[in-house]
Structure 1
């Protein structure tokens, strides 16, 4: 019986596997047309699995050689050539179950041409050379020499029988290749994307067909939304559900998923999340700006900080802006990097405050009444918790999150930050007694941004099939708090304008 793969390249015999036919067709077309090209993807995206599948597709017709430069750092020319030959022989043995492909190590870098030509004439198969972790070849002189050889071969590729060279990296190789290797036209570049929603469902459906254990439709949606299609994380969540939380159950329900999500957030040291947090710590200030000032950082792959975070899967390019695309990564980073507002809890709820007065007779939350209590708290504190902060929108969102959680969790509900809603994310989502309340948070926005925020909220409300939502706007330019309601197409939005420019805590009780 197969399983969800949580480490290393996927073995189709033992693990569930997602086909990527369009991506595969693109790669095969390049190979068949004698193209030399690059492939990039952040780590843990299934890149090596995809490339192994290419090997399986072409090995009868061509001679694929799939090696990695992962251990090629700090090598002189002799070590480089010896290691190269050893790796080529290992690759050949793994693919064809035969012994040595190359008997003699090339005399120098340029002699690689003669080695390749001899392979072609001996095996009578055109060669497809695939080099993973290409950027690990850190000796600039060796790299230039090697790429010069490839360029020379490229101009007479039919003679040498080197049909295609594929350079694989966690990131873009454009700077290296534009300077040194004309065969690698940067337009011929492939990226291995995250799974689509359909591919995530396909992965889960494979388990259902083979075992009879069923994921509730809502659970499938939750896996898709929380992992954002990230292959390693998608498999990890699914594996935890079927192997631990609901091991003996016929149906995997939302309750099991909530336990899995909690463990990934607070209990497990999951390698995917731990890696993201560790990498984010190295650029903490930039990550906090991306987290707490959404849309404020332009995506620029040539910015070394952005390049580093992107290559390690922390951030992504969302319509030209830096974002954390994977919701579970966002939640983990939000929880660990959130602005510290220590000591506020005692002001948010006193001995006299209980959740009962904010729950209506039908069990629904009286959110407007609770926001009035929130305003009372801000007046009492004189907005002191907002003073001197660099990441204002994030400070506001976290402060509101902290306040609402204090009351909602007392009623056995939950407040979720940055929750996926269709194609976007709402800042806060309250779930209480099977009811959902959407909240968008903005700070010191312009009139145009205000109108855009209202339209965005209405769109999220429609996607969740609700009839109302809340927009909380923090402003330093107003003299008093204000509550506004607007209705459009049967949808009501509650708008609260929150004053933040207090001089000192007031005596209002």
Structure 2
């Protein structure tokens, strides 16, 4: 059977192309040997379960440990009914253990115990009966909430002192977040803020994405088995679009090889990768849809809205930022800068936030297209100004992010313009005081810089400084034409028709800029 790229569930070496899973978790084996209890937290769909399943298999096959990954997720529907949650968890564990371990390493029947002590009793009985030290990876630990989560953590902490013969030798809590960020209050609204009641942990680990050479290595497996090549430019584009996020790396290749180029004699090109990107963004499959759903979470909004505006994270708490980092939606560079994790996530963010705005847009006749089918940028400017005068401010209420509403309506308008024939790419940056857009249609490009003038601004019109800031951006996207759109949101200003101004200016590098002051 020919293997394929995996976009759902645990990778299986006989079924899926995959990299050595332990490579991205080099510390785990040493921690196990040290009898450590530790945390592994990383965003969804990066390969935690796959890597630890493989690690457990290797540890068991080497003959020193009885190692297995088991899930806590089945306890989640039972809420604060601790006994019911424990029963469901232990039943699921037994099924996983019977599949993963040979019969001589299976646990005895779980002993009878009171609610709140059943996990402890089960692990104690198994550790005593096992001919080898136990190593457990408890996956989806943060699916549990409130009193059930606390009960499980306290049982693990209490059993820790019974190692190695009376409790697992080594144990890892595996989930989306670090232990101090587990939700424990009624309604899941407050955080633990401390490792207690799991203050026995030795380390908190996370899991990196693929490097560009690893993307090439993964794709080479497909080339060796099928003869179908990926052009170097295609591999480079995959890495640029995904920044190595494993689900995206696999999804782009899956679409390219099964839908766009099923003929194995055909080479996968950069153009194919671009088309694959468009398809997975348009479909917004489960992984991407789950990220999009998070955008309405107040903690996510506190981070993402300032990024759209180019503002500082003034209203975002450290917990807000840590939550969005843990989701994998944003990343923090070594110098502390925050940005959307990759261009595909950025596309998902902006598409999701403009969904209702785009649905509310009036029908627009394509009067901006010239006889050749190319965009007449002067005519498009006239269409945009007329659109904003008639509809712009009325559409602001359809945006889920009030502060960034004008920016989102503008982006929805531009998306409607290029629909089917081009793209709108964005640069989001904390503290830049602007949003940069690149509108591309049939190979022709327009740079757009968006600024906001608010009461809180202690400076002159930000549009004045924006003109010279455009030069570097226009050079990076390869055009000499731009709009500078400035929204005046100060209180006490005249009505929109009175304050509207259009100005044509030339930058220091000779770029033509139209200032649209609204």
Q: Using structure 1 for the length normalisation, give the TM-score.
A: 0.75
Tell me the secondary structure at the aligned position of residue 104 of structure 1.
coil
Q: Partners in 2 of 1:222 and 1:56 — Cα distance?
A: 34
Distance 1:448 1:129 in 2: 60
- The Cα offsets for residues 60-116 of structure 1, whole Å up to 9 and x where unpaired, read as 222213211111142756555554554444343323332672223234355866765
1:125 alignment partner in structure 2: 132
> Matches of 1:403 and 1:138 in 2, distance apart?
43
Which residue in the other structure is 1:137 paired with? Answer: 144
Are 2:492 and 1:481 aligned? Answer: no
Instruction: Go from structure 1 to structure 2 and tell me whether the alpha carbon gap of 1:264 and 1:122 turns closer, same or farther (over 3 Å shift).
Output: closer
1:89–1:100 Cα contact (<8 Å) kept = no
Contact 2:42 2:175 in 1 (8 A): yes
Relative to structure 1, is the Cα distance of residues 252 and 31 closer, same or farther in structure 2, using a 3 angstrom cutoff? same
Q: Residues of 1 paired with 2:233 and 2:447: CA distance?
A: 18
Q: Deviations over 1:120-163 (max 9, x none)?
A: 454442222211121333461x5444433432343453454633
Task: State the match for 2:330 in structure 1.
Answer: 316
Distance in 2 of aligned mates of 1:51 and 1:455: 51
The residue aligned with 1:66 is 69
Q: Aligned in 2, Cα 1:391/1:219: closer, same or farther, shift over 3 Å?
A: farther
Give the RMSD, CA atoms, in angstroms: 4.3
What residue ranges of structure 2 are gaps of 5+ in the alignment? 181-190, 491-498
- The aligned residue for residue 506 of structure 1 is none
Cα deviations by residue, 1:205-224 (Å, 9 ceiling, x for unpaired): 32223222122333333333
Structure 1 partner of 2:29: 28
C-alpha distance 381-461 of structure 1, shift in aligned 2 (>3 A) = closer
Give how far 1:166 is off.
0.5
Q: Report the secondary structure of 1:179's partner residue.
A: coil
| Alignment partners' CA distance in 2, 1:158 and 1:330 | 47
CA distance in 2, matches of 1:72, 1:172: 19
- Contact 2:414–2:424 (8 Å) recurs in 1: no
C-alpha separation in 2, matches of 1:197 and 1:357: 40
Map of 1:205 onto structure 2: 220
Contact 1:120 1:160 in 2 (8 A): yes
Q: Deviations over 1:31-74 (max 9, x none)?
A: 22232111122322222112112213322222213211111142
Give 2:157's aligned residue.
Answer: 151
Taking structure 1 as reference, are residues 98 and 290 closer, same or farther at Cα in structure 2, changes over 3 Å only? farther
Matches within 5 A, 1:296-445: 297=313, 300=317, 302-303=319-320, 315-318=329-332, 324-338=340-354, 339-340=357-358, 342-343=361-362, 345=364, 350=367, 354-356=369-371, 370=377, 372-377=378-383, 383=389, 385-387=391-393, 389=396, 391=402, 395-396=406-407, 398-399=409-410, 402=413, 406=417, 414-418=422-426, 427-432=436-441, 434=443, 438-444=447-453
| Equivalent position of 2:196 in the other structure | 179
Q: In structure 1, what is the Cα distance between the partners aligned to 2:409 and 2:299?
A: 17
In structure 1, the residue matched to 2:484 is: 472
SS of match in other structure, 1:6: coil
Distance 1:112-1:263 versus aligned 2 partners, 3 A rule: closer
C-alpha contact 1:426 1:438 (8 A) present in aligned 2: no
What is the CA–CA distance in structure 2 between the aligned matches of 1:116 and 1:475, rounded to whole Å?
Answer: 62
- Residue 401 of structure 1 contacts residue 415 of structure 1 at CA under 8 Å; is this kept in 2? no
Paired residue total: 471
The 3-state SS of whatever aligns with 1:252 is coil
How far apart in 1 are the matches of 2:428 and 2:49? 29
Please give the alpha-carbon distance, in whole angstroms, between the structure 1 residues aligned to 2:236 and 2:407.
Answer: 29
Structure 1 CA distance for aligned equivalents of residues 210 and 222 of structure 2 = 17
Shift of residue 275, structure 1, vs aligned partner: 2.9
Counterparts of 2:462 and 2:295 in 1: how far apart (Å)? 29
Retained in 1: the 8 A contact 2:299–2:324? no
Change (3 A) 1:52 1:457: farther
Aligned residue number for residue 515 of structure 2: 497
Q: Which runs of 5+ in 1 are unaligned?
A: 360-364, 501-509
